[in-house]
Structure 1
Amino acid sequence: MKKQIIQVENLGKSYFVGHQSADSERYTALRDVIGLQIKKLARNASDMARGKQIIQGDNIEEFWALKDVSFDVAPGEVVGIIGRNGAGKSTLLKVLSRITEPTQGRARLCGRVASLLEVGTGFHPELTGRENVFLNGAILGMGRSEIKRKFDEIVDFAEVEKFLDTPVKRYSSGMYVRLAFSVAAHLEPEILVVDEVLAVGDIQFQRKCLGKMGQVASGGRTILFVSHNMSAVENLCSRGVVLNQGSITFDGNTKDAIATYGSKAASSSNSLPPIESRQGNGTARVTAVQCPASVSSGVQFDIGIKFEVYDATKSPDVRISIYSHSGHCIANFGTSYTSTPFGMVLGEASALLRIPNLALNVGHYTVNVSISDPSYSSDVICDRIEEAARFEIVTADPFGTGKHPAVGSVLMPHTWLLAPPTQIGIDN
């Protein structure tokens, strides 16, 4: 039997989350306020004495980011880990990379591990790009001679030679991720762990990274790859693991994993992820997103959004994007695009996007939503949620023939003219 390079057994990771009581703002009696503060101080002192993390909030809840996760990975296998935001993908990679300790279970990794989980992981902002290559290589367990041997190749791949002796704190996020990925991919670890950070780079560099990962995989090294780009997962990975609410719901062929992920997501309720997993400055928060779970192509389609604004903003910009199952954006909608102003908003508000004719092919689709504040010279994101809702096109007959294309997401209205070239105006 072939020895497994990664063995995960009953892995679990829990966190304690604090919640502010809804009644905490309603206390009017001084004795109630004092009593509450004494309880908080006593609890914090007890946690500190036992070495536990101090959690802010009136009520403490235990949240399991991972629960009873078990799987093995053979040497040279490329495994795609997919799932909704908050499913536990990044937590799993952090445990496997030894960034955080598991609450229960264990994970065995045989060999050197290179992790690229966040932009600039393992980089010191005050050091130059050159110095950080050696620092990051040393963190990954490489010797100085090995780093020197690969140095020119690393710099050439990252395309940052001009800024090599500049402190990386002056790098853009794209330059950061180029150099970080280049170090991780070129220093020949036995196991390469890559999260969604490649989304930071431009399209050309993303393709370059995927090509390099393909080379790494063909060289017999093991890769764990987390991405929402299903086409990249399908092309790169030989196996797919689907996570949902911290547990594995499917482990097998990549195409089956993507299909399972899409079908389960479409049938699940459109519950929004916690605030911690969102992007934005928090001055507004999306509280509900609603759309039909399944629908036929060619019908009217509504997506409703409810949100709260905590800091008064002039005409917030509501945006919705629709993505195909392969992770490609196929449509963008925004109140600013159609000059639909809200006016000054503070408190609860809602918006409804109405698409008169949903000209999409059969398949699964996801919806991203965001609230932006246009008061600044460039839009400032208040709240952004990926995969806020999902829906499935179950039937499509755009031309009344009983047929629809086997590939492609958008069904564009069109006609054909069949005639001799001279009548159509096609020159030889």
Structure 2
Amino acid sequence: MSQATLDALRRGDLAGARELRLAGCGLTEFPREILDLAETLEFLDLGGNALTALPEDFGRLARLRVLFGSANRFAVLPPALGDCAALSQVGFRATGMREVPAEALPPRLRWLTLTDNRIAALPAALGQRPALQKLMLAGNALAALPESLAQAPALELLRIGANRFEALPGWLAEHPTLAWLGLAGNPALEGPAPAARLVPWAALMPGALLGEGASGHVHHALWRDDPPREVALKLFKGAMTSDGLPRHEMAACRAAGAHPNLVGALGEVADHPEGRAALLMPLIPPGWRALAGPPSLESCTRDAYAPGLRLEAGAALRLARGIAAAAAHLHAAGVLHGDLYAHNILWDGATGAAVLGDFGAAALLRGGHAALLRTELRAFGILLEELSALAGGEDTRLRAIARRCRAPRPAERPGMAEVAAALR
């Protein structure tokens, strides 16, 4: 389809287009015909090609809001991006990038993804983009962040897992708007993890695909244990996810232990025939589903709930209690979930019975980093507000707890155990 689109572009058949998808077309040079769409183009996907640069006059795309350039060969984030007046979302994952010039950061930057590159330093200008809300930097060579990010007024989601931080930035625990924080895989947090129960691949009989996330595929499987039982088998897609490395996700699962409101780990596969990392988890009851969909391009850091979804007040309260209990259990074990979102909550669709899953961004906090747990209180406060809204907004207790969880100064937020007790 992308090749057909490229042919149509070159014929001039796409005049007036607002979206253009040219992923995987084998491009080695930027098609100049794209600039002919300057008056209308808002979304451009150039991923999976062999591009190394963008033209100096790329800023002619004055209406462009979203640009994907992942899996190309950009050693430098193209400076011309800074000339794009409307550009707010930029994604250049796995391009071999080493350099991010200050002039490459567009003025309206809201969502920046530079995962799985070789970046060792970032410009101070990054924290001077007032709309910056989501920053994905896992899998680079960073040992520090610009101090200017401490003053970024809208920053809510930050991923810096699998980097080289010997010490974490002190301002992380004090940032007023941070809510979703991924840290695992840095020297500052390295240390022994609980031993894993290893399960031979030969003891498993994989079955139907149950679902797919950013980091892996989840299958139904039969585990020939004693006695045999049905389980969920998560096969990780690759060595690097959007949040970090699979081994850190598995280590956080082990550290978390068991809880009735958590999708915990039963074991890890020892010898997958393709060498893939794999995790065994309890099988969720049939009919349970995600409470929400992940954030959209428009919502950035807010989940997408199904139109018309409503909760009974009792179901909303039960859901809030269960997830608070799960998060309190994690925090007591020193585990920061890092992705406490409705899209990572599976529920029964009626009564509010629910479990929290997906430890992709989770970190086992070590060395006096417990204050970082307060960032997760803000995430829980946002979830409470969403649950309250879905239930008609009549539960004043949910709203009051949500306000406390979202206090601008993290030190003034309650601990998760206190929140769980208040909800009980």
Give the TM-score, by structure 1 length.
0.26
**Higher share in strand:** 1
- Greater relative CO (CA pairs within 8 A, separation 6+): 1
